[in-house]
Amino acid sequence: MLQLQPGIFLEKLGPAHYGQIQEFDCGHVETNEFLHESAAIYAEENLGKTYLISNGEGTIFGFITLTMGVLKMKDADLALNLGDLDKPGQLPALRIARLGTSASKQGKGYGSLALEAAANIFRLLQGEVGTRYIVLDAVPERVAWYAKRGFKSVFSDLAGRTTIPMYFRPPK
Ligand SMILES: CC(C)(COP(=O)(O)OP(=O)(O)OC[C@H]1O[C@@H](n2cnc3c(N)ncnc32)[C@H](O)[C@@H]1OP(=O)(O)O)[C@@H](O)C(=O)NCCC(=O)NCCS
């Protein structure tokens, strides 16, 4: 358990949390269902690791699920000069698969804190494996929230899209 701020902790989801997560409600049905029904399986099967933001005593303020991903080079960063590796088609990334904060705690900075935690894990990974971006697919209502936190949309025309691919290159 890592202390992020006084009284606020980051914990990796494990069997000790399986009861607590059933109470979690971020107001978005699919995100809730993921945490309730799939996050434990994703962790056990190495499909995605979930990190909980909590008070350290069983109350969950938010969660973020991370997995490996790619940013398609066709879509972004075309100016990157990779020499012999020119236009490999895709660039390595850490993917935010899910993010949610408790409906009763939204607007208090926990979502931003979850993104900061992801950026810290990204920096740890970067020391060990090639990882250039953080990527995610945002629902249209959340694009502005991510954009305010540095994420760029892969496509300029968002019309008609049910999810919007976004990317961010955290500063070193
Ligand atoms: C999207 C989501 C994760 C954001 O989480 P959050 O905890 O509300 O995020 P934050 O508190 O960091 O930021 C929310 C706003 O509160 C503001 N804020 C930050 N700290 C604050 C504080 N201490 N007091 C009041 N407001 C604060 C931020 O400036 C931000 O404002 P903005 O939207 O105008 O930029 C949350 O709304 C959620 O779980 N939604 C449902 C699930 C979902 O949509 N997931 C994403 C799918 S792509």
Nearest residue (by CA) to ligand 1, atom 42, is: 100
Local structure of 91: helix, strand or coil: strand
Q: Model confidence at 41, in pLDDT bands (50, 70, 90)? A: very high
**Ligand 1 centroid to residue 83 C-alpha, Å:** 40
What lines the ligand 1 site, CB under 6 Å? 26-28, 31, 99-101, 106-112, 138-139, 142, 145, 148
Average pLDDT over residues 135-146: 95
CA separation for the pair 24, 32 (Å, rounded): 7
CA dihedral sign of residues 139, 171, 54, 35: positive
Kind plus residue range of the DSSP H or E element containing 3: strand 2-5
- Determine the Cα angle at 99 with ends 126 and 158, to 5°: 90
Nearest residue (by CA) to ligand 1, atom 46, is: 99
Least confident of 18-27, 50-59, 98-107, 153-162: 153-162
| Domains recognised in the chain with CATH numbers | 2-168 (3.40.630.30)
